[in-house]
Amino acid sequence: MSQNTAARRGRGRRPAAEVRAGVLAAAGHILLAEGLRAVTFDRVATEAGSSKMTLYKWWPSPGALAAEAYFTQSDRTLQFPDTGDLRTDLITQLSSFIRWLTDEGAAKPVSELVGASQTDPDLAHAWSNSYALPRRELARVRLRTAQEQGQLRRDADLDIIVDQLWGACYHRLLVLKVPFDDTLAERLVDQALHGATPHTT
């Protein structure tokens, strides 16, 4: 639903789910285009054609709204494919994530959201529950399928693999602040699958 359509329909007539979706879409657009600071209840209410009271009722803070909006925006881009070949699927998903951060401009809002979540408990709660933990669960599901198919060892530690693949990207983005490159997804996946010790030992 475009922002204009939302605005034209006026207030108080739409089902709650539709209003909520409209608010999240508007907040997501503002977040990706202008960054976290631009996501205020005033601005989002205006762009979504909703009342500010509605936003106050549903979200404890603009930061919490922004975190949930980020999940909605990224969901389409960051799906986990299942072609039956784990290596290919992990490279596809990580490449999408890296493109999303770099070419599609999510690096700034993601940095701002994770950064602010270190000192804003409402945002931290929304980030963990709306984004980080559900996304880890999607990764686990894909890895578990591969494990059942014998593509990962029976005793492979799926949570550690998640930490090592996506954690590596966040490490570069947030901690080292070094650029990503085109070979990163493949190098991460191959190191996670095959390890670093000589194959003969």
The residues that touch a copy of itself, with contacts defined as CB under 8 A, are 111-112, 114-119, 124, 127-128, 132-133, 136, 150-153, 156-157, 160-161, 163-164, 166-172, 174-177, 187-188, 191-199
Burial class (CB in 10 A: 0-12, 13-18, 19+), 15: exposed
Surface-to-core class of residue 63, CB atoms within 10 Å of its CB (0-12 exposed, 13-18 middle, 19+ buried): buried
CB of 111 to a copy of itself, least distance (A): 4
Report in angstroms how near the CB of residue 169 gets to a copy of itself at its nearest.
8
Query: Collapsing DSSP states into helix, strand and coil, what is residue 154?
Result: coil
**Least distance in angstroms from the C-beta of 131 to a copy of itself:** 9
**Measured from the CB atom, is 17 or 175 closer to a copy of itself?**
175
**Of 7 and 193, which CB lies nearer to a copy of itself in the complex structure?**
193
Q: Which one, 52 or 194, has the nearer CB to a copy of itself?
A: 194
Q: What is the rounded distance in angstroms from the CA atom of residue 196 to the CA atom of residue 201?
A: 11
Assess contact for 47 and 65: CB atoms under 8 A.
no
